[in-house]
Chain A
Amino acid sequence: MLAPLATSLNLALVGTPNSGKTSLFNALTGSRQRAANYPGVTVERKSGTIQTAAGRTVTILDLPGTYSLRGRSPDEEITREVVFGELTGEKTPDCIVCVADATNLRLSFRLLLELKQVGRPMLLVLNMIDLARRRGIVFDLDRLSSELGIPVVTAVSVRKGGTADLLAHLNALAPESGAPRASTWRPHSASELRALQREADRIITATVTPPARPDTATTRIDSVVLHPVAGLLILLTVLFVMFQAVFSWAQPAMELLSGAFASLGQFVHNELPGGLLQSFLQNGVISGVGSVVVFLPQILILFLFILLLEDFGYMARAAFLMDRIMGGAGLHGRAFIPLLSSFACAIPGIMAARVIDNRRDRLTTILIAPLMTCSARIPVYTLIISAFIPQRELCGFINLQGLVMFGLYAAGIASALLVSFVAKIAMWRDYEPSPFMMELPDYKLPRAKSVALGLYMRAKMFLQRAGTTIFSMMVLIWFLASFPQAPVGAEGPAINYSLAATIGRAIEPALAPLGFNWQIAVALIPGMAAREVAVAALGTVYAIEGGKEAAEQIGQVLANNWSLATALSLLVWYIFAPQCASTLAVIRRETGSSKWMAITFAYMLALAYVGSLVTYNIAHALGLG
């Protein structure tokens, strides 16, 4: 072995989707990884720096999964540009590490042969080697290395110490001296692709002995999970359990968090002299940021399910089962995952739409994602339902309040499907379904460490957002609600004299046909930052001291001040609720244009207005107003 070198090393991980590339990256870098975006595009850049045992610094870049270097989507283009060292701001990798799933080499090897043409130093990692050996697959590693002309190491990314071989190899790896070989890669014709696949198949036949009895676990599970009827029932059950978990398991943790923020606010209230600073810290900073951070448990539980299903290999199956059903509404099967995430929050949902490579399919998905009832609407729904809908049993077992809640969710989904259908007809008349072609990977048991790391990264991103975007919005809202201050000796709540009230009164005439008063109009403004803030805002407007029993008190005050027609109208408004600044900002970033942001805002505003107008007038005519 060569003496360890002090020089640092830049690696790029390349592999097909499902090659276990990300789990290898997680095993290598652990929590020392950083996620960011490549400038100008919406492709996530994941990198991490580690020290080998001998003290060598190795920077590892996890590139988006791809089947070829053609670069069909923005993700795949990034992979190609980095591999060729053409991406500005990104160092040319010293070594390209091709990651292959040892149990499924065919497609990986074709990609590897393409990568070899680039002419850079390479290394093949046979990942999940333990799984392959347990299935009885035998590898001739020396022959494999000489056939491919590159070093081959094995790895078990899901076990402690499973990357020891790889790390030892990296320790000894010498940066190639002399001028790099010229690339012979060029876009391949179909016949060249065929030739590469044949060569890959030849190498596999020569070096890998398949087991006498193939592993049938995946096939057996699939015979139930992909069954046309049983499969859909299983999918529905999985979704049902997931929503139950999001709403009931998260409850204790959420109460704990909101209690903690309330006590913190109370502490500031008691410790500081009354005045602007006290009001700013308690109402602006603590209750504002707190009202958003409270959703962390729900978001973590939702992502726990999504990560588990993803690692298990179920997500691709869900897309398979839903493809035709969603196709009827003009959606791609892959839109299932982003739309599911949108029930937690539209922001991760819209970001997850990156998995859809066709632009139109992706835009439709982004357009309707905010219609999925996100968790931020729950506090608003809960408040109004508990204040206005009687706690009564229907037919002996259906809870009326629960039924209304379910109806609001169903209305969100129905309107999303409708909008998608209209978009298909109105905007994209020449619409042709883009192909649905994806690997259904073998089932694998998810590993706790990998899932925990995924959750940690999500939590970090969410809290960063709460600490920056939402924090600055809260400061702005507090300012609007506090200035100008009430004159000495004025009657009524101070907020009546503020800019917020002025704005609320200015837009009140436009909202009056919906049964909204100026107090609601004022509450809708802070709702722009995060929908759930509207609840806190209503509390402030009706001059109620915040705190633990606040929700019940607000409910009481609302029940005295509003008609049922107004309450129903506000519920319908929130099904569509176009006002969420962060969602709109993400749409602009992900679509790369303000146009789609404007379209989303306009169509949701129109739906909300018309929906509320109709609801209010019908309710009014029925004598509820």
Chain B
Amino acid sequence: MSQLKSLGNAKRGFLGRIHSICTEGCASILSPAELESRLIEMGFVEGARVEILHEGIFGKDPIAVRVDNATVAIRRREAMAIMVD
């Protein structure tokens, strides 16, 4: 099993599965519970296949993530809460 890391730190082309959602200590404006709910509502659930398809031009932010068969745009700040392997 490969090492656990945060989707917010992954590079373009990263391909993996969601291990867990860990919103504690995430720098988002949203409360941890709210952020977790929103991520789940956008399909970021344990076991889902994720791939970083695109990055923005400045600071490589935001990122476009393929989650199963849908594409979601998200900022790295919030993507930090998504733990992948």
Contact = CB atoms under 8 A, between A and B. Distances in A.
Contact of A435 (B35, B43, B45, B46): B35
A190 B40 contact: yes
Interface in A306-341: 316, 319-321, 323-325, 333
Contacts of B58: 324-325
B42 A437 contact: yes
B65 to A, nearest CB: 9
A595 interface: no
Interface string B60-73: 01101000111111
B25 interface: no
Given A193-B37, A228-B56, A435 B30 contact: yes
Interface in B68-83: 68-75, 77-78
Contacts of B11: none
Given A194-B46, A320-B64, A226 B30 contact: no
Contact of A436 (B33, B37, B54, B75): B75
B70 A104 contact: yes
A69 to B, nearest CB: 11
B43 A107 contact: yes
A440 interface: yes
Interface string B20-59: 0100000011100101111111110110000001111111
A437 B78 contact: yes
Interface stretch (A214-222, A487-495, A499-507): A214-222
B70 A438 contact: no
Contacts of B45: 194, 197-198, 201
* Interface size class of chain A, counting residues whose CB lies under 8 Å from the partner chain: 35 or more
> Which of B53, B64, B70: most chain A Cβ within 10 A?
B70
A232 interface: yes
B71 A218 contact: yes
A336 to B, nearest CB: 13
B64 to A, nearest CB: 6
Contacts of B68: 106
Contacts of A229: 57
B41 to A, nearest CB: 4
B38 A324 contact: no
A333 B56 CA distance: 12
Contact of A190 (B37, B43, B54, B57): B37
A76 to B, nearest CB: 11
B44 to A, nearest CB: 9
A484 interface: no
B42 A439 contact: yes
A437 B53 contact: no
* Highest count of chain A CB atoms <10 Å: which of B43, B61, B74: B43
Contact of A323 (B54, B71, B75): B75
A531 interface: no
B38 A436 contact: no
Nearest to A227: B54
Contacts of B62: 320, 323-324, 333, 436
A70 interface: yes
A405 B61 CA distance: 34
Interface string A215-247: 000110011001111011000000000000000
Contact of B53 (A188, A214, A226, A325): A226
A107 B42 contact: yes
Contacts of B59: 324
Given A67-B42, A435-B77, A324 B72 contact: no
Contacts of A110: 41
> Which of A70, A201, A319, A324 gathers most chain B CB within 10 Å?
A324
A93 B36 CA distance: 31
A343 B51 CA distance: 37
A68 interface: yes
Contacts of B41: 67-68, 107, 110, 193
B13 to A, nearest CB: 12
B56 A435 contact: no
A214 B70 CA distance: 12
A222 B58 CA distance: 18
B29 A193 contact: no
A219 B69 contact: no
A320 B77 CA distance: 15
Contacts of A432: 28-29
B29 A433 contact: yes
A210 interface: yes
A439 B72 contact: yes
B69 A106 contact: yes
Contacts of A210: 69
Contacts of A183: none
A67 B37 CA distance: 11
Interface in A411-458: 432-441
A174 to B, nearest CB: 33
A228 B55 contact: yes
A440 B71 contact: yes
Nearest to B65: A440
A435 B29 contact: yes
Contacts of A325: 57-58
Interface in A176-220: 188, 190, 193-194, 197-198, 201, 210, 214, 218-219
Contact of B73 (A104, A107, A232, A316): A316
Closest 9 interchain pairs by CB?
A: A228-B57, A432-B29, A226-B54, A440-B71, A67-B41, A190-B36, A193-B40, A320-B73, A324-B58
Interface of B: 21, 28-30, 33, 35-43, 45-46, 53-59, 61-62, 64, 68-75, 77-78
24 contacts: A68-B37, A106-B43, A110-B41, A190-B21, A190-B40, A193-B41, A218-B71, A227-B54, A228-B56, A323-B73, A324-B62, A333-B62, A432-B28, A432-B29, A435-B28, A435-B75, A435-B77, A436-B73, A436-B74, A437-B42, A437-B75, A438-B73, A440-B64, A441-B71
Given A190-B40, A435-B29, 12 more contacts: A106-B70, A188-B37, A190-B36, A197-B40, A223-B54, A232-B57, A321-B57, A323-B75, A432-B28, A432-B29, A436-B78, A437-B74
Interface of A: 67-68, 70, 103-104, 106-107, 110, 188, 190, 193-194, 197-198, 201, 210, 214, 218-219, 222-223, 226-229, 231-232, 316, 319-321, 323-325, 333, 432-441
